[in-house]
A and B are shown apart, each in its own frame.
Chain A
Amino acid sequence: MTLITSWIGNTPEFAVPFALAALGLIITEKSGVLALGAEGLMLVGAVAGIGAYLTFGQTAVALVMAMLAAGVVSLLFALMVLVMRINQVISGLVLVFFCQGLTTLTGTLMGWTNQPVPGLPAIALWPLSELPYVGRFFVQNLVVYLVPVIFLIAVWALNRTTPGLRLRAVGENPQAADAAGIPVLGYRLAAIVIGSALIGLAGAFISVLSTKLWISNMTAGRGWIAVALVIFARWSPWKALAGALLFGCIEALIPQLAASGIKLSQYFVFMAPYAITLGVMIWVAAAKRENRSQPGALGTPFIREERT
């Protein structure tokens, strides 16, 4: 029983990084920029968060610095895809490689590796926290409770505000948006930076609040799983949140399985999230629904010089 209770209780902590990263990716991709760099930007957020905590000693500062750091590094990606018009797949991959190298190097040279940080205290949402079995689901740190709020704001901003509408227009048909006087590259730049800041927060959540230390390449493919999650969720933030909960559930099960003493090599257990991601991708593809929700101009650079 305690196994199930703690499994349910741990789920949000594992789900939050997927949720925030997927939301960041959705915001970027709604503007028509294919964002594959999540894995790298999460690492940047993760190392920057730990570094900022070890320097300033404030968790809030650490989280803000992580978002800033990921935003700043994403300017490099913006330079590649918006100004230099380098293939967006290559740009995303190079960004991941760049960030993997950069964060490992920074973490090692600054001596930030394996330095524990305290994280944030858990807050119990009384009376929900007293419920049987699911009670521990409602004993989480502040950032976990902020995630639904962030989602609400993002969905409202994307669907109900003029900048949100323009952002989506830029992603669907940049030529038309440009003709209507919308600064296409400006919106794409904003989408990249805002989305990347959220992805950076996802990374910092893993290092500062969940694992509470930095190890190089600690995101272990979660950024790629978030990329897959956005595809299953068909660029819908709420579906992405649901998917993140599902993957949080799976990840939260891993330490439980290890603790339960199941006779299975731990490495097979570690494979589970990747195998399940692959399985869900196949299942979604086999369901063969027409994929109309992908932003129309996803992955294509906006080139204006043909217009006179």
Chain B
Amino acid sequence: MSELALRRPLINRRYTLELRQHMAWYWQALILGASLVLGLLVSGAILVAAGVPAGELLNEFVLYTLFDAQSLKSVLFQASPLIMVGLAGCLAFRARFWNLGLEGQMIFGAIGATAITLWDIGSPSLRLPLMILTAMACGLLWAVAPVLLRLKLRVNEIVSTLMLNYIAVNFLLHLMYGPWKDPKDAFPYSPKYESFELLPDLPGGLSLSIPIAIGLAVLVLWFVSISRAGLYLRFVDKSPDVARSVGVPVARTILMAVLFSGALAGLAGLMVAAGQEGRLTHSFYVGYGFSGILIAFLARNNPIAATCAALLIATLFVAGRSLQVFYQIPFAMVQLIQAVLVICVASSDFFIRHRIRRVQGGE
């Protein structure tokens, strides 16, 4: 027995891991909170190492970003496309489909909407609804190929959606440096949208994109938890084989969830183009695709949790932009911090699902 104990790796020598059946919710919340705090501490350390004075961190991030009406507004504004991509991630992942093509679907959504503006399709009053529909349709269409390939030929969707992202990015660059470039502008941007092509502000100064995002979060919640398709989706998520044998239309369910996901990503593209930038730019999509994936993961594919996670990530985006301005820290910092947070939160799951127990008396 002692021989066996000696041969075990250090970590298993005196402790053993046990699967935990159940953990009280407050312990779970505590562990999750602790992991988030740890992630934020690590991020803070990275920021200090990158040259942000430690004393300014609290000011910059917490006070300036959350307790200033103007920047709180910009956090909400920033959150709406992030909520969209987060919901898009939730839907696809619930169907066990790794839709990493959110970025490509977003790009095509924005390209579709911009085509409507450039070609002056529809009367001014119909223009914005038409742009929204086109954006959703284009995002959906860009998701058709990978999902059909996966269902018909079992082509790995991780690679196919990523390849389609690179294709979409190059197509966007082609448009921005080529036919759609605004001749009046030195940058690779499309001409500015007309005022009736922009997402309007509500009375009070909040952008219309915020109620749209919240409304869609509720719609997705209804879809996944109440509708028949959502029930099917839960079957597919738990076990596609069992789902098939009890008569769930597995392929149709996956197809529907992924296409819905693509449409939401397309809408996110429109929200950035018509909400924030007011035109199509060559880099409007940067950071959204993987944020959507991480938001869905952080939220365990729950639409309401995704909305909250999107708010957190939006805060990061806004703070990241001010860091960029004040300390010349590249926006990539936001990406790094998101990855650190996700690693910490994902690791917390380990402590929720396992118990580390000391082995009595050296086995």
A56 / chain B contacts, CB cutoff of 8 Å: none
Give the nearest-CB partner of A220 in chain B: B166
Which stretch from A143-151, A166-174, A262-270 is at the chain B interface? Answer: A262-270
Indicate if B338 sits at the interface (CB-CB under 8 A).
yes
Whether the pair B50, A94 counts as a contact (CB closer than 8 A) is: no
Whether the pair A224, B9 counts as a contact (CB closer than 8 A) is: no
Taken residue by residue from 138 to 174, chain B's Cβ proximity to chain A (1 for < 8 Å, 0 otherwise) reads as 0000000000010001111011101110110011011
Indicate if A54 sits at the interface (CB-CB under 8 A).
no
B153 / chain A contacts, CB cutoff of 8 Å: 282, 285-286
Whether the pair B339, A278 counts as a contact (CB closer than 8 A) is: no
Given contacts A86-B346, A86-B347, A265-B174, are A277 and B333 in contact (CB under 8 A)? no
- The one of A102, A185, A224, A270 in contact with B170, judged by C-beta atoms closer than 8 angstroms, is A270
Give the nearest-CB partner of A102 in chain B: B336
Whether the pair A271, B149 counts as a contact (CB closer than 8 A) is: no
Indicate if B297 sits at the interface (CB-CB under 8 A).
yes
Taken residue by residue from 324 to 344, chain B's Cβ proximity to chain A (1 for < 8 Å, 0 otherwise) reads as 000001101111111110110
Whether the pair A104, B166 counts as a contact (CB closer than 8 A) is: no
Which A residues, 48 to 99, have Cβ-Cβ distances below 8 Å to chain B?
76, 80, 83-87, 89-91, 93-95, 97-98
Whether the pair A101, B332 counts as a contact (CB closer than 8 A) is: yes
Indicate if A118 sits at the interface (CB-CB under 8 A).
no
Indicate if B223 sits at the interface (CB-CB under 8 A).
no
Indicate if B30 sits at the interface (CB-CB under 8 A).
no
- The one of B159, B329, B343, B346 in contact with A228, judged by C-beta atoms closer than 8 angstroms, is B159
**What CA separation (Å) do A227 and B157 show in the bound complex?**
12
Q: Is the interface of A mostly helix, strand, loop or mixed?
A: helix
Query: In the assembled complex, how far is the CB of residue A51 from the closest CB belonging to chain B, in whole angstroms?
Result: 15
- The one of B178, B290, B333 in contact with A265, judged by C-beta atoms closer than 8 angstroms, is B178
Indicate if B196 sits at the interface (CB-CB under 8 A).
no
Q: How many A-B residue pairs have CB under 8 A?
A: 138
Which stretch from B12-20, B205-213, B252-260, B272-280 is at the chain A interface? Answer: B12-20
Indicate if B294 sits at the interface (CB-CB under 8 A).
yes
B19 / chain A contacts, CB cutoff of 8 Å: 305-306
Give the nearest-CB partner of B153 in chain A: A285
**What CA separation (Å) do A278 and B104 show in the bound complex?**
14
Taken residue by residue from 289 to 308, chain B's Cβ proximity to chain A (1 for < 8 Å, 0 otherwise) reads as 01001100100000000000
Indicate if A152 sits at the interface (CB-CB under 8 A).
no
Of the candidates B16, B155, B337, B339, the one having the most CB atoms from chain A within 10 angstroms of its own CB is B339
**What CA separation (Å) do A76 and B294 show in the bound complex?**
17
Which A residues, 249 to 308, have Cβ-Cβ distances below 8 Å to chain B?
265, 267-268, 270-271, 274-275, 277-278, 281-282, 285-286, 305-306
Indicate if A116 sits at the interface (CB-CB under 8 A).
no
Indicate if B64 sits at the interface (CB-CB under 8 A).
no
- The one of A89, A105, A267, A275 in contact with B174, judged by C-beta atoms closer than 8 angstroms, is A267
Query: In the assembled complex, how far is the CB of residue B79 from the closest CB belonging to chain A, in whole angstroms?
Result: 19
Whether the pair A97, B339 counts as a contact (CB closer than 8 A) is: yes
A305 / chain B contacts, CB cutoff of 8 Å: 16-19, 354
A105 / chain B contacts, CB cutoff of 8 Å: 50, 329-330, 332-333, 336
Indicate if B100 sits at the interface (CB-CB under 8 A).
yes
CB within 8 Å of A: which residues of B? 9, 11, 16-19, 50-51, 98, 100, 149, 153-156, 158-160, 162-164, 166-167, 170-171, 173-174, 177-178, 290, 293-294, 297, 329-330, 332-340, 342-343, 346-347, 349-350, 354
Sample 20 A-B pairs with CB under 8 A, ordered by A number. Answer: A84-B346, A84-B349, A90-B342, A90-B346, A91-B346, A100-B335, A101-B337, A105-B333, A185-B9, A220-B166, A267-B177, A271-B171, A274-B164, A275-B163, A278-B160, A281-B155, A282-B155, A285-B154, A305-B17, A305-B354
CB within 8 Å of B: which residues of A? 36, 76, 80, 83-87, 89-91, 93-95, 97-98, 100-102, 104-105, 108-109, 183, 185-186, 216, 220-221, 224-225, 227-228, 231, 265, 267-268, 270-271, 274-275, 277-278, 281-282, 285-286, 305-306
Q: A94-B342, A228-B156, A274-B164 are in contact. List 6 more A-B contacts (CB 8 A).
A: A86-B349, A90-B297, A94-B339, A108-B332, A267-B178, A305-B17
